[in-house]
Structure 1
């Protein structure tokens, strides 16, 4: 009798019973001089990228509708804002008192206008916790590779709705929750984290609540100001639709990019650091698409999970050193993929081979819904 194994079972069977992770110490020594952040690089990159992005937004809104100029301005502005937005990942990994004004500038130039203040991403640190990574309590992990294809399609279908979710969160739920304790508890548990796992349910950290309230007020004032401008016909509904489209595209780029961050084949079992690294992906092809879809060091996701504190501007050099000097059997080498398409193709093929009854997504579903 022939049985069909799931991607998780195949990966487990192929892996050695014990991992050789001794090479991590060697890896740390190879890049020990690369952990210092350069504020000059951060500020220069962010200000130039964001400034050019907002300049192209003006071109996008003022250009002749559907002209080549407008379309190009839209595409390039979206890519630039995507790049600026990914600095949120760097911010979360900074010590609390490091580059404080950079964090404030990021919020004012991007976080508040895009309704994504960086404190909403504080849950990201849990993604590096060995007790949470790859489990239902990880807000940034879904077992798409060990679940049927429909789960990947459901994931992608959420992207166009992300701006609407944020408008409701900061324009309706946030202000109302200030007046109702029960709703506030729900908002802090279910609507105060930047996650890709829709089943994530963890209370927002109490130590950050004051910060959250401040940015909630700023976001609400921003939404209210836009509403007044629309009411007074200063901004037309066409402009609102254009802004929504730009925001949806910018956020959607990150949503799609996430598909190539991990293999997503874990079944919900906690993983040690070696397992996290092997489950993560480096995109090593240096094409224009890689540069566009993986800005600010995101293409080295396995390297990031190996050394989360490594600043983005040193990742190229760190990866080069590791590939040149690590042992041939170091698991770091198996995390590399030539392109985004290679990683997504692997994910898609893995999902296609997973029957519904063997879906790992069942571990993520709320208990009453499991079958």
Structure 2
């Protein structure tokens, strides 16, 4: 079990019911949730063999295809195919960062270290930067301006979706500046260090997110910052020597940006994004999340390592990715027809994205929930 423990059935009753109908609804929620817990109760055991095999194969082939991408003739079939293949496999390997933050302390410690060595440091995304993800499962933070992975895109005009997508091509520049310039300078200046720890030390899609990096993990962060800086310094030395050319840098930027964009776009189908910024119960968070149930090749590529079962993940965050498919099958078959679980499914990414676009298209600028994110109220 991870540090994100399952809420007890009694915890689903956050407040006294206002009327008998509300009490009856709460009782139904508690009943189907308890049934769901029992259905998946034997699926919490992680398999290190599956984790290691999946990750090492993904990252190994990704780096092999990257070598082909850099050495193949420009615009050749080999270069294009290796670009597509390596980006998809880097995306898959990178998604294990999500599994890492859900593991209990001291479980599969070397998996996290090897992930950093082969993925986190070279792509400037050490997994400790994703520690903030635990807030995304918190009843205090989920769906509020203090949630680093939530924006009210369905409750804001379409322009906010476009602004969100426009950020994606700039992400490689951000991480290079963050680890190549800001990190080393902040080691020398306390004020700058505090700003870096508050504004640039979390992997988020909410640009208004501000929360200081946990003090208990600062030494870990400084170690991976140093490794990322040394990695970038080595690349700069190779550029100065002429080993790496401007053409190589362009190819690297395109591959890096495209890989990051895959996850950025995938996020559009993770939630309904309709919350106005108020706190949400555990089951409300689940209902705001989406399972992609179609079996197309695009679903497999765009939602690796269990990401397609995002609603299921928010219902039971501790389930390992390799058991989510079986858990979804059981819940779909055994839960009663009126259980809310069945309403979280969408056939494809495009179906979920279309729902989001339609909802945003019906939101006038004056009604935009994004204004609350801009004001960033402090939650008690």
The question of a shared fold, defined as TM-score above 0.5 by the shorter chain, is answered with yes
Contact 1:199 1:366 in 2 (8 A): no
Q: What is aligned with 1:136? A: 145
Cα shift at 1:217: 0.1
Cα shift at 1:367: 6.3
What 5-or-longer segments of structure 2 have no aligned partner?
A: 1-20
- 2:183 is the alignment partner of 1:174: yes
What 5-or-longer segments of structure 1 have no aligned partner?
A: 1-15
Deviates more, 1:339-348 or 1:18-27: 18-27
Match of 2:210 among 201, 210, 222: 201
Secondary structure in 1 aligned to 2:54?
A: helix
Distance 2:210 2:327 in 1: 35
Cα shift at 1:207: 0.5
Distance 1:33 1:113 in 2: 37
Length, aligned pairs only: 353
Distance 2:108 2:376 in 1: 43
1:55-74 matched pairs, under 5 angstroms:
55-74=64-83
Q: What is aligned with 2:274? A: 265
Distance 2:247 2:318 in 1: 43
Q: What is aligned with 2:128? A: 119
Match of 2:242 among 230, 233, 236: 233
Secondary structure in 2 aligned to 1:200?
A: coil
Q: What is aligned with 2:29? A: 21
**Deviation string for 1:74-132 (max 9, x for gaps)?**
00100000000000000000011000000000000000000000000000000000010
Contact 2:291 2:346 in 1 (8 A): yes
Q: What is aligned with 2:222? A: 213
Q: What is aligned with 1:98? A: 107
Distance 1:329 1:119 in 2: 40
Contact 1:189 1:204 in 2 (8 A): yes
Contact 1:147 1:355 in 2 (8 A): yes
Secondary structure in 1 aligned to 2:98?
A: helix
**Deviation string for 1:230-283 (max 9, x for gaps)?**
010011011011111101000100000000000000000000011001000000
**Deviation string for 1:344-370 (max 9, x for gaps)?**
0000000000000000101100369xx
**Deviation string for 1:167-201 (max 9, x for gaps)?**
00000000000000000000000000000000000
Match of 1:30 among 32, 39, 59: 39
Distance 1:215 1:121 in 2: 13
Distance 1:367 1:343 in 2: 27
1:1-371 matched pairs, under 5 angstroms:
18-19=25-26, 20-22=28-30, 23-366=32-375
Q: What is aligned with 2:14? A: none
Contact 1:282 1:303 in 2 (8 A): yes
Normalization by structure 2: what TM-score?
0.92
Distance 2:283 2:226 in 1: 42
Normalization by structure 1: what TM-score?
0.94
Distance 1:367 1:141 in 2: 13
Secondary structure in 2 aligned to 1:213?
A: helix
4+ residue stretches of structure 1 with deviation over 2 A?
16-20
Distance 2:145 2:119 in 1: 30
Q: What is aligned with 1:9? A: none
Q: What is aligned with 1:10? A: none
Contact 2:208 2:376 in 1 (8 A): no
Contact 1:162 1:248 in 2 (8 A): yes
